[in-house]
């Protein structure tokens, strides 16, 4: 049974978190804000974040700021490249108490005890050793998904897939132009991503996780919040894959579209 939460400002303290935890927050805040309005509760992103900061006074908050749509030759401007990860990310971008990391594909905003260490991460593989996802795993971080499906939020799964060297994804190297503190450079970044005929498919995986972990599902007036221990989730996912279940599907239409794009791009 989903555990009921009465106020959006009670979400943080309703979760099984300790004050020293590292917490990764993935969210879609539209429904949360709407439900607050219906309940005559004024919604504030800053108050929402503050509720987590109050709880994690010796911990760390990580919020995705991904620009993983970039390709070779594109520009990642550390200060100005707008994240594609939703309203919370774009609100955090305006705050001065969070810093953004420098990975041109999977940067994050970070606050708290681990901020300096995470900011120093500067590797050539966006999902590999020394990446933010490796850091989250090694340090036994926690994650919450607020009204957002795994399909659109559980990027950590690709770190696991790279570790397993799954055959439906492969390594590509992108040369991304970067701008950091006024200095331009080119960053060669390894991206272990899907093959052209593959589409990520996490719906069945999400349903399976929730069936197995009902105590990790919370509810604020119809808005579902899913809690994930990323260290435990690593083994859970490995076992899921090794049992023969799939995190992807073959999509020949997608493959044809990729071929067409390649032909058009290289057409004289």
The per-residue pLDDT for range 199-218, each reduced to its tens digit, is 999 999 999 999 999 999 99
pLDDT-derived band at 3, boundaries 50, 70, 90: confident
pTM above 0.85, yes or no: yes
CA distance 126 to 173: 10
DSSP string, the chain: -PEE-S-GGGHHHHSS--TT-EEEEEE--HHHHHHHHHTT----HHHHHHHHHHHTTTSEEEEE---TT--TT-EEETTTPPPSS-HHHHHHTT-SS-EE---SSS-EEEEETTHHHHHT---SBSSSTTSHHHHHHHTT-EEEEES--GGGT-THHHHHHHHHT-TTEEEEEEEEEEEETTEEEEEEEEEEEE-TTEEE--HHHHHHHHHH-GGGEEEETTEEEEEEEHHHHHHHHHHHHHTT--SEEE-HHHHHHHHHHHHHHT--
Q: How confident is the model at residue 256 (pLDDT cuts 50, 70, 90)?
A: low
Compute φ and ψ for 141, nearest 5 degrees: -70, 160
Per-residue pLDDT tens over the stretch 148-186: 999 999 999 999 999 999 999 999 999 999 999 999 999
Note the pLDDT of residue 50: 97
Angle in degrees, CA 21, 64, 140, rounded to 5: 30
Token pair listed for 44: 């504030």
């Amino acid at each position: 049974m989903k555990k009921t939460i009465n106020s959006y400002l009670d979400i943080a303290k309703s979760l099984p978190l300790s004050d020293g935890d590292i917490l990764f927050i993935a969210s879609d805040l539209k429904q949360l804000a709407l439900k607050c309005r219906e309940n005559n509760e004024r919604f504030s992103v800053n108050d929402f974040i503050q509720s987590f900061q109050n709880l994690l006074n010796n911990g760390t908050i990580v919020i995705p700021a991904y620009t993983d749509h970039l390709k070779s030759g594109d520009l990642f401007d550390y200060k100005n490249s707008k994240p594609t990860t939703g309203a919370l990310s774009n609100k955090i971008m305006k705050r001065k108490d969070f810093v953004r990391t420098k990975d041109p594909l999977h940067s994050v905003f970070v606050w708290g005890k681990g901020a300096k260490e995470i900011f120093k991460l500067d590797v050539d593989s966006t999902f590999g050793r020394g990446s933010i996802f490796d850091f989250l795993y090694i340090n036994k971080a926690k994650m919450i998904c607020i009204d957002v499906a795994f399909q659109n939020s559980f990027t950590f799964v690709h770190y696991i897939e790279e570790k397993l060297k799954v055959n439906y994804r492969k390594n590509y190297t992108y040369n991304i132009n970067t701008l950091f503190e006024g200095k331009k450079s080119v960053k060669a970044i390894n991206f272990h991503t899907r093959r052209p005929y593959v589409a990520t498919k996490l719906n069945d995986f999400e349903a399976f996780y929730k069936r197995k972990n009902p105590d990790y599902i919370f509810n604020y007036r119809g808005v579902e919040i899913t809690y994930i221990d990323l260290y435990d989730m690593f083994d859970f996912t490995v076992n899921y894959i090794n049992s023969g279940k799939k995190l992807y599907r073959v999509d020949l239409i997608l493959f044809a579209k990729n071929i067409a794009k390649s032909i058009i791009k290289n057409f004289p």
